[in-house]
Structure 1
Amino acid sequence: MRDFLPQDKARRERVLAVIRERYRAHGFDEIETPVVEDYDRLHAGIGGDNEKLAFNVLKRGLDAEAIIAAADDPAALSDLGLRYDLTVPLARFYATHRAELPTVFRSLQIAPVWRAERPQKGRYRQFVQCDIDIIGDGSARAEAELMVASLDALDALGLEGGVIRVNDRRALDGMLDVFGFAAEERPGVLITIDKLDKIGIDGVAAELRERGATPAAADAFEAFGRRPTPEADLPFGEAQIRAALPEGIDDAVVAGLVALGDAVAAARGGEVPLAFDPFLVRGMGYYTGTIFELAHPSVGYSLGGGGRYDGMIGRFLGQSVPAVGFSIGFERIVDLVADGVDAASRTLVLVHDADVPVGELVAHKAALIATGARVRLERRTKNLTALLARSAADGYGEFATVSAGADTAALEFKPLA
């Protein structure tokens, strides 16, 4: 959990403003949910490994004896917890307010979440998520809207060239069928396959065997992973997808992915910034269909991701509701965005002597603010150079010296840089 100095906070708000504006332009409506949710909801088995990282809130009124008696049962100690993502709160929000929302609801949430991570570079215990979700649309149109909006936001931040890696959990299941993995071993198998980018095919094959996976299936996976990969040179489309998959994958799944690519291309002027990745897993167990991750050539890690989670909201409503979401990794993106300028038309520093009446100073400031400027008052110091350097570092562009009785219109402003 971090503090942010003024210049860092200003940078973050500039990036958030761009993301918010682009997503709203694409028809997403912003909502807000509480930072806490019921313990049972956060630990309902829909949050994957994140449930283990939840910060839980101790029940009020427990005495020492009750705490000791329930020490081995977190559910008896806690009735609330800090949200670890924005998807679980959204599912609860939709179930609560469905009657007040449109049939197809396009949600935008930008807010902090909390996880009991082991802090390290790029991993924090409090961080901001920027989520867009479409609830009530089971077609590929929903995925296409999410992808086009997210690529647009990336472009608006000056990060052109983003590519979305795409897969489908049904294609993954089909591959595991073809290879011969038993149903009960698949969750562990997927965890291992998800490490392919880090440990390579040798490491994955070795770990599968260490896990005790079906030997013939592990052999089949390894042989498939070592095959030539002609799809790497093909554009996103049926030929690439077919070449990247073994025989026997459901034609409907392939057709859905092809339709998704066609839709994104139509919105991007023929460009298809998608790449099919048959080994993309995404760790969340609630995904039921398309899954995707946002990549950028400037870095070796993903800048966001998401997928279809048609089963989650039904857990709260008792009926199936299609849903798909995309989350931008704000903490990663903000470090890549070039420094911007303050949104105000002018950023001014008024340097004054001690004898200037307070009334005159605040009047000067108010008059300049009324013109759309951002204004700071600074009392003159012996080291004026250092004062001006600090003001420039804080994002101010001009300064003027103010004497008693001065006219605001007559102030002479000079550039700080």
Structure 2
Amino acid sequence: MDLTPARGTRDLLPSAVAVRDHVLARITEVYRRYGYQRIETPALENIERLQGGQGGENQKLIYQVLRRGLEPRVAAGTPLSELVDLGLRFDLTVPLSRFYGANRATLPQPFRSFQFGPVWRAERPAKGRYRQFYQCDIDVLGEPSVLAEVELIEATSAALAAAGLSGTTVRVSDRRFLSALAERSGVPAEGWDRLFITLDKLDKIGWAGVRTELSDRLGIDDATITRLQETITGLQGLDAAKLTDQLSAALPGLGDDVLTDLTTTAGSLAALPGLTWEFDPTLVRGMGYYTGQIFEVTHPASGGSVAGGGRYDQLVGRFLGTEVPACGFSIGFERIVDLLATAPARAAVAVLYEADTPIPSVLAIARELREGGRAVSPVRRSGKFGAQLSRLEEWGFTSFVHVRPGETGPERDLGDKAR
């Protein structure tokens, strides 16, 4: 029997889980200080909700669940929509929007939400890309101003630093800026979503690949593509202090609200000590539900962003029938864990007892040792003494107490090779 996990998934050993627990604990501690309250949403959602047109390319990666009670065979030509009624969530934002719509009357306003849980995407498995992985999200619902954007960036940057990740850069852009850019360049409105998806691949396929895709798949002429490229290239590396003036010059039709929001965000981020950020005109974000500012966190050792998010003012309204301002930030938990690799050592004691030692005595010793707050586990003596001590050290124990009938030896450090 094949005991390997399903392709694109993985088992996690205790040492790996220890790292994950450490990272989550540090992130959770920071988010709670900022007033975010943890909620949980189901892994399964109605398929119509997941396929509502706001998930971008991820809608093609949904794991769909067959209806209960289907016969072993179905008639040829039966549409898939008649066979499927549920799907596994591909992110935490769509479930949050439904949750808020259902519980708004009992929630504080604005509502600061914190979620941590698994999501599923039918990805092509590769290094760092899994079909089941964890996301760690914070969202502010009910706050219309860029206070939400700035707070999300500040809180997430603090959480990453607390987890041990330094040297990050925050990239900021705005979907409204991208729409104005597309309009000024002469791209038809019906082609904007496809344009944004293509621009999102710029860091992977370069301008040559982007130009080919825009020409071949969208039918955009060379002159329009050139205008796009020249405008975007000219806006890269902007001086944050001159951001509004330079954006106004590049896109004279850009709305005052967009410029005001970006100016406020820029000034607020500049006031945060130790934060490195930049305006990035190539930043798109793949989800179709973004309506305003968008942002990502990058790290030199990561091949992609380690966190990302933005404003999505229209998503919750699909469930309430009225627009609700909303903004969120999602940490790529798996990438953070891979970058950190190790967790701080824990104080773990093995109560190493001989087979003829009375069990009540063993448990009493373990209970007493736990009173100091350490992890303590009874382990039966077996095999050669030195070899067993080496195994205990490999398993994460830092010290041991040797217990014999009527006798308890002193606590000894497993790192002491003179034992």
Q: TM-score, normalised by structure 1?
A: 0.91
1:219-259 CA-to-partner distances (Å, cap 9, x unmatched) read: 312333555x6x52734652685389444422331221120
- Structure 2: which amino acid aligns with 1:99? A
* 1:112 aligned residue: 118
User: Is 1:232 the equivalent of 2:237?
Assistant: yes
* 1:41 aligned residue: 49
* 1:291 aligned residue: 294
Cα separation, 1, equivalents of 2:96 and 2:30: 20
Q: 1:97 to 1:226 in 2, by over 3 A?
A: closer
* 2:410 aligned residue: 411
* 1:216 aligned residue: 223
Cα separation, 2, equivalents of 1:127 and 1:207: 30
Q: 1:277 to 1:233 in 2, by over 3 A?
A: closer
Q: CA deviation at 1:108?
A: 0.3
Question: Please, which runs of 5 or more residues in structure 1 have no aligned partner?
Answer: none
User: Is 1:136 the equivalent of 2:135?
Assistant: no
Question: Please, which runs of 5 or more residues in structure 2 have no aligned partner?
Answer: 1-8
Cα separation, 2, equivalents of 1:316 and 1:109: 19
Task: Tell me if the contact between 1:232 and 1:240 (Cα under 8 Å) persists in the aligned partners.
Answer: no
* 1:366 aligned residue: 367
Task: Tell me if the contact between 1:113 and 1:126 (Cα under 8 Å) persists in the aligned partners.
Answer: yes
Q: CA deviation at 1:89?
A: 0.7
Percent identity of equivalent pairs? 45
Cα separation, 2, equivalents of 1:223 and 1:264: 27
CA RMSD of aligned residues (A): 2.1
Task: Tell me if the contact between 1:175 and 1:245 (Cα under 8 Å) persists in the aligned partners.
Answer: no
SS of 1:185's partner is helix
The equivalences for 1:148-297 within 5 A come to: 148-211=154-217, 212-225=219-232, 227=234, 232=237, 234-235=239-240, 238=243, 242=247, 245-266=250-271, 268-269=272-273, 271-297=274-300
1:52-82 CA-to-partner distances (Å, cap 9, x unmatched) read: 21112211112245x33564x2221122221
Task: Tell me if the contact between 2:232 and 2:282 (Cα under 8 Å) persists in the aligned partners.
Answer: no
Cα separation, 2, equivalents of 1:176 and 1:403: 78
- Structure 2: which amino acid aligns with 1:23? Y
Aligned residues: 407
SS of 2:105's partner is helix
* 1:352 aligned residue: 353
Cα separation, 1, equivalents of 2:68 and 2:144: 42
- Structure 2: which amino acid aligns with 1:263? S
Cα separation, 2, equivalents of 1:237 and 1:119: 43
SS of 1:334's partner is helix
User: Is 1:9 the equivalent of 2:17?
Assistant: yes
Cα separation, 1, equivalents of 2:410 and 2:45: 54
Cα separation, 2, equivalents of 1:294 and 1:3: 28
Task: Tell me if the contact between 1:53 and 1:116 (Cα under 8 Å) persists in the aligned partners.
Answer: yes
Q: 88, 99, 105: which one pairs with 2:105?
A: 99
Runs of 4+ aligned structure 1 residues displaced above 6 Å come to none
Q: CA deviation at 1:43?
A: 1.5
SS of 1:96's partner is helix
The equivalences for 1:383-394 within 5 A come to: 383-394=384-395
Cα separation, 2, equivalents of 1:70 and 1:286: 33
Q: CA deviation at 1:342?
A: 4.8
* 1:339 aligned residue: 342
* 1:376 aligned residue: 377
- Structure 2: which amino acid aligns with 1:317? L
Cα separation, 2, equivalents of 1:397 and 1:306: 41
Q: CA deviation at 1:384?
A: 2.5
Cα separation, 2, equivalents of 1:161 and 1:118: 30
- Structure 1: which amino acid aligns with 2:285? R
Q: CA deviation at 1:115?
A: 1.4
Task: Tell me if the contact between 2:44 and 2:88 (Cα under 8 Å) persists in the aligned partners.
Answer: yes
Q: CA deviation at 1:30?
A: 0.2
* 1:325 aligned residue: 328
